Amino acid sequence: MPRQCHVGATSLPQILPGTRSKRKRQIAGVDQEELQDPAILADPDSCFCEFKGVQIHHKIYDAESVATNLSEEGTSSQPPYANKRVNFPMILLHGFGASIYSWIRAMKPLAQITGNKVLAFDRPAFGLTARLNHVNHSSQGSEDTRPFNPYSMLFSVLATLYFIDFLAAQKAILVGHSAGSIVAVEAYFEAPERVAALILVAPAILAPLNSGPVVKDNPSGKSNQSEGEDLEVNCKENWFTTIFSILSKLSQYIGQTITRLVKGMGDMITSIYKKALSAFLRSAIGIMLVRMIIDKFGLAAVRNAWYDPKQVDDHVLQGYTKPLRVKDWDRALVEYTVAMLTDSASASKPPLSKRLRKILCPVLIITGDSDRLVPPWNSERLSRAIPGSCLEIIKKCGHLPHEEKVDEFVSIVDRFLERAFGV
């Protein structure tokens, strides 16, 4: 039953039905009055499986099913990649704010070029994967069944490795887009023997600066001084050097002591700050703020991700905003943000930028030349930081090569697989 409001003669004018009152109930054009369970919103080809107590939404395509569908649709021409086969399945990892939907255009072609299975899944807080109350979730069950925060990076990494087993494979090719690239790389470091190759699309990985030492033939800057002159200068400056050395060591010791004290205080302050920020985000005001941000900038961010925003039609917008119809999407997004702020597992590891040179599997990096979210120069630096990696830049393309330039994207992946696995 609709709400009824009784107003007096001196009250403000009534709001017409379907105007401002309706807008208040919408976030990014999605009605928030009747949010639903993910299973109700699922597509006919959607699948769900349970991992660590979380119902994860995923889709799978394989070459055989794609070929069957093409024949049923009356497509007479044979698929261009029908004879190719890679011995490894492919797992697709979406970026922040995205879902399986962002891979839909590329999944079938990728299944064709690999001749194998291609799987994409929604990470917790995104798509149609179940939104759990982390506080209640962590207090229920044994540690063996629910040991991880479902919104943490570690959970996404372990879920990725779980899907390799789910596909009954020893190894898989991991394809990560934007923030999904971080999950792909972290999954490699968690279990490098399970990853056959990495394909990083517009990777949101901060690449290190290449600032190696410069070796000079004459670092002292002197020219043609005799040995006698050097001895004379050294004798005169010897006592200065001795005093300077003593003072330098003393100041270094004092500096290290102060640094340890400041770091301890800084860690304590940082911990207090993170707890306070987490409490604020989980409050009613914090959730309202998240809803306001998504409402104001959500659709604009989708359009900004494309090279040509005019290509973002209603169908694309509906695909990206569909998860806003899921119950507790806002609370889950807050928990995801909190998990990123308080990720103790990642804090205990060296920065990702310092581990990139340890990647030994084949790596392909794809970026658009007009990416406004992750600039192409960062991908170029990233390719230099990962030994033997290949870099491909797609022209007139933004942050979503696998959506904007599907054919070119698939062709690049196909050539990479030929080089890496000889298919």
- Using an 8 Å Cβ cutoff, are 300 and 372 in contact? no
Position 181 scores a pLDDT of 97
Angstrom distance (rounded) from CA 146 to CA 132: 12
DSSP letter, residue 203: -
Alpha helices in 222-308 (DSSP H): 227-282, 284-304
Q: What is the pairing mode between strands 26-27 and 118-121?
A: unpaired
Place of tokens 């084949």: 362
Position 70 scores a pLDDT of 59
Break the chain down into helix, strand, coil percent, rounded to 5. 50, 10, 35
The CA-atom distances, in angstroms, between 21 and each of 8, 31, 121 are: 19, 11, 36
Position 247 scores a pLDDT of 53
For residue range 331-353, list pLDDT tens digits in order.
999 999 888 888 766 666 888 88
Is 141 contained in some domain?
A: no
Position 280 scores a pLDDT of 83
Position 235 scores a pLDDT of 46
Domain holding 127: CATH number?
3.40.50.1820
**Residue ranges making up the domain that contains 360:** 38-71+82-134+149-209+304-421
Is 361 contained in some domain?
A: yes
Is 5 contained in some domain?
A: no
What residues contact 186, with CB distance under 8 A and at least 6 apart?
153, 157, 346, 352
- Calculate Rg over the CA atoms of the chain: 27
Position 71 scores a pLDDT of 56
HEC string of 383-420?
HHHCCCCEEEEECCCCCCHHHHCHHHHHHHHHHHHHHH
List phi, psi (to 5°) of 326.
-85, 140
Model pTM score: 0.78
Give the distance between the most distant pair of CA atoms in the chain: 106
The encoded tokens of residue 221 equal 């800057």
Is 289 contained in some domain?
A: no
Is 314 contained in some domain?
A: yes
Position 49 scores a pLDDT of 97
The backbone region for 170, taken as left when phi is positive above 0, alpha when psi lies in -120 to 50, beta otherwise, is: alpha
- Smallest CA-to-CA distance from 380 within 131, 158, 199, 210 is with 210
Which residues of the chain register pLDDT less than 70?
Answer: 1-24, 66-83, 134-147, 210-271, 273, 344-348, 423
For the chain, the domain total comes to 1
The encoded tokens of residue 245 equal 């050395």
Sequence letter at residue 381: R
Angstrom distance (rounded) from CA 381 to CA 207: 6
Is 17 contained in some domain?
A: no
Is 43 contained in some domain?
A: yes
Position 264 scores a pLDDT of 52
Is 110 contained in some domain?
A: yes
Position 209 scores a pLDDT of 78
Helix, strand or coil for residue 292?
A: helix
The encoded tokens of residue 202 equal 């517009």
